[in-house]
Structure 1
Amino acid sequence: MALDTPQKLNSMGFAKDPADTRVLVAMSGGVDSSVVAAQLKSEGYDVVGVTLQLYDHGAALAKKGACCAGRDIHDARRVAEEMDFPHYVLDYENKFKDAVIDEFADSYLAGATPVPCIRCNERVKFRDLLETAKDLDADCMATGHYIQRFMGDQKAELHKAADGDRDQSYFLFSTTQDQLDYLRFPLGHLKSKAETRELAKKFGLPVADKPDSQDICFVPNGSYAAVIEKLRPEAASPGEIVHLDGSVLGEHKGIINYTVGQRRGLGIGGREPLYVVKLDADKRHVIVGPKSALATTTFPIREVNWLGDEPFDAVSERTVAVRVRSTRAPRDAIIRPTGPTTATVELIAAEEGVAPGQACVFYDADGTRIFGGGWIYRG
């Protein structure tokens, strides 16, 4: 009697026909997620598109052309109609405000430099929306992020995108293993954004030439201070600009207007070039000093999300590459765990502008794999 031949895995990694594989696609209304939905639909998958309404489109916080704004919901719906698959809009305003916007404002008021896009992926898209996908009996959830998922010897692994200029691994480091098992990233292998737009034209999508969104979705024109002052009116309280040596150099109009590493706009001319080196929210002090004072070699991290093959604190130290800002290349470092989700990071070469509230993302020192990361805090 002949043995049954194992069925070949489809492109989403399931041993069944695409038509029997339901994929929920998180659609922001931009070209990337639209191409993902169109590509999967063209391959015969049972596609369901979902767009999140994250904030009041008529409020002052909304920004035309930003992720998940009113026009984007309209564009996502048009793509679904063109490609003939169901599309739903979910009201996540309260979830987004509680999980992302409020923490963003509070972190800034505490003198930190938050990265709300990471929290949005972690707490809204990859948590609440992923659970919705499961409720809809989807086999997996696909997004338009530029990052890659490979099956390793032990489990699914997260890897940098093929296009280094589009790689979004810094913003996805907090993806848990359970989430990674369920997620798919169909664009991660593309070599350039031009390839994505060519696919959009191939499918005749109305968003093929739509510009990319540049700013944080709820921050109009990149003005963090304006948003925080609206959310927390007390945030514009004045205070002193203080040199590291203790001398008072002037007055500021609210620490929300300053970030670590800032040089311009301090209004304290007459001395050597000075930079913001620290924000003391309790005293309402903007502390400045020479550029050399920005150099950091050691700092603590917490809320570590570890995607390695053994427990994070199974060894006393690990040599990895770390990225402390999305715009910087990974640098060699030593991670010394101090618990299951805490550690001290030692940079082999000092970095400037390392600030509380930023993410520290771990990479394979010799490859493309992401091992997770943690949040920098003031120890």
Structure 2
Amino acid sequence: MKKVVVGMSGGVDSSVAAYLLKEQGYEVIGVTMQIWQDEEQAVQEENGGCCGLSAVDDARRVAAQLEIPYYVMNFKEEFKHHVIDYFVEEYRQGRTPNPCIACNRYVKWESLLNRSLAIGADYIATGHYARIVCLENGRYTLQRSANLAKDQTYALYNLTQEQLKRTLMPVGAYSKEEIRGIAEKIGLMVASKPDSQDICFVPDGDYASYIEETAGVHMPEGNFVLTDGTVIGRHKGITHYTVGQRKGLGLALGYPAFVLEIRPDTNEVVIGTHAESMADSLRANHLNFMSVEDLTEPKRVFTKIRYNHKGVWATVEKVGEDEVLCTFEEPQRAVTPGQAVVFYDGDYVVGGGTIL
């Protein structure tokens, strides 16, 4: 019997994932990853996080219902290094990080997988809405969820071949309604629990305050400028802004104003019009390919530049050892440095990288 460690967040998706795998004949072990830096912060989980103390309570109860062993594993150190420190530093550098992608790659997979293999597991599993397939060329990739509205492949593009080979995602074949229906049918107490939202360690969405209070990083005020350098006002500190932002700028220019660029070296936030916020192309690095080993020639791909982006057709080509140029077929608004760009061939993930 194959042994699988299921990452259980206390939510309905990971709970049903554990149930489905047990039904399929796996020896299932439930694990919740403890990532909080301060136990008192665990109350924040009520506001939408996925790994606080109430998550542990819910996951433990579900494991008892399913009659599977359950453990809490401490990943605080890994989470601080790979997620929180990265999050703070990216904002300091004027970029907009994607902490969920970093958490998936380095905590939920790298750390959890290594520890699971060490205790004799064959696989890890999660409640993500995505599917893992092995292509004819022998490579593993992600296929978009059967429920496209909940598809989470964008946030998982950075997984390695070894990680994909050792991962099961049973929820990806179902819709959210079907998953809740299964949970209700078997009487899981989390069947109607709401989905987690936003970044788990900043539940109120005030990233700038979190960076200042938690990391002790105070970013000074500076100038709002136009593209020609004209000073048009004062900003509250660059951690308060992201490229593409329109609301909360406090500027009255007589036209809708957007953040075009953040310049940490001069502490300036560049403001412009909607037309100026459109881009024909982007460059990305920190590349990870899935369905192909590498890009050997330009390829037309369906491209997403943020999690809730509807996607656009583009041509992607290598322009350096670890850099691609992605040229859109229609100009796109708010191409944001620090965010991920993910390329699709049909329903399959080709790969992705970090927008420069």
TM-score, scaled to structure 1:
0.90
Tell me which amino acid in the other structure corresponds to 2:326.
Answer: V
Instruction: Give 1:1-379 correspondences, 5 Å limit.
Output: 20-55=1-36, 56-59=38-41, 62-64=44-46, 65-155=48-138, 156-190=140-174, 192-309=175-292, 311-315=293-297, 317-364=298-345, 367-377=346-356
Once the two structures are superposed, residues 100-154 of structure 1 have per-residue CA deviations (whole angstroms, 9 ceiling, x without a partner) of 1111011011111111000000111110101111112112111100001123223
Unaligned runs of 5+ in 1: 1-19
Using a 3 Å threshold, how does the CA distance of structure 1 residues 60 and 268 change in structure 2: closer, same or farther?
Answer: farther
Kept in 1: contact 2:291–2:348 (CA 8 A): no
Number of residue equivalences: 353
User: How far off is 1:205 after superposition?
Assistant: 1.0
- Secondary structure of 1:213's counterpart equals coil
Distance in 2 separating the partners of 1:50 and 1:353: 38
Using a 3 Å threshold, how does the CA distance of structure 1 residues 63 and 254 change in structure 2: closer, same or farther?
Answer: farther
User: How far off is 1:314 after superposition?
Assistant: 2.5
User: How far off is 1:61 after superposition?
Assistant: 9.1
Q: Which has the larger radius of gyration?
A: 1
Distance in 1 separating the partners of 2:269 and 2:134: 47
- Secondary structure of 1:188's counterpart equals helix
Distance in 2 separating the partners of 1:167 and 1:125: 18
User: How far off is 1:198 after superposition?
Assistant: 0.8
Q: What is the aligned-residue RMSD (CA, Å)?
A: 1.5
Kept in 2: contact 1:109–1:235 (CA 8 A): no
TM-score, scaled to structure 2:
0.95
Tell me which amino acid in the other structure corresponds to 2:238.
Answer: I
Aligned-residue sequence identity (percent) comes to: 40
Distance in 2 separating the partners of 1:203 and 1:43: 15
Using a 3 Å threshold, how does the CA distance of structure 1 residues 61 and 299 change in structure 2: closer, same or farther?
Answer: farther
Structure 1 stretch displaced more, 167-176 or 272-281: 272-281
User: How far off is 1:274 after superposition?
Assistant: 1.4
Kept in 1: contact 2:316–2:324 (CA 8 A): yes
Using a 3 Å threshold, how does the CA distance of structure 1 residues 60 and 47 change in structure 2: closer, same or farther?
Answer: closer
User: How far off is 1:233 after superposition?
Assistant: 3.3
User: How far off is 1:44 after superposition?
Assistant: 3.3
Kept in 2: contact 1:312–1:340 (CA 8 A): no
Tell me which amino acid in the other structure corresponds to 2:270.
Answer: I
Distance in 2 separating the partners of 1:121 and 1:179: 11
- Secondary structure of 2:173's counterpart equals coil
**Runs of at least 4 residues of structure 1 off by over 4 A?**
none
Kept in 1: contact 2:258–2:274 (CA 8 A): yes
Kept in 2: contact 1:235–1:256 (CA 8 A): no
Instruction: Specify the alignment match of 1:14 in structure 2.
Output: none
Tell me which amino acid in the other structure corresponds to 2:168.
Answer: R
Distance in 2 separating the partners of 1:59 and 1:217: 10
Tell me which amino acid in the other structure corresponds to 1:44.
Answer: G
Unaligned runs of 5+ in 2: none
Kept in 1: contact 2:17–2:125 (CA 8 A): yes
- Secondary structure of 1:124's counterpart equals helix
- Secondary structure of 1:187's counterpart equals helix
Distance in 2 separating the partners of 1:356 and 1:321: 19
Kept in 2: contact 1:105–1:231 (CA 8 A): no
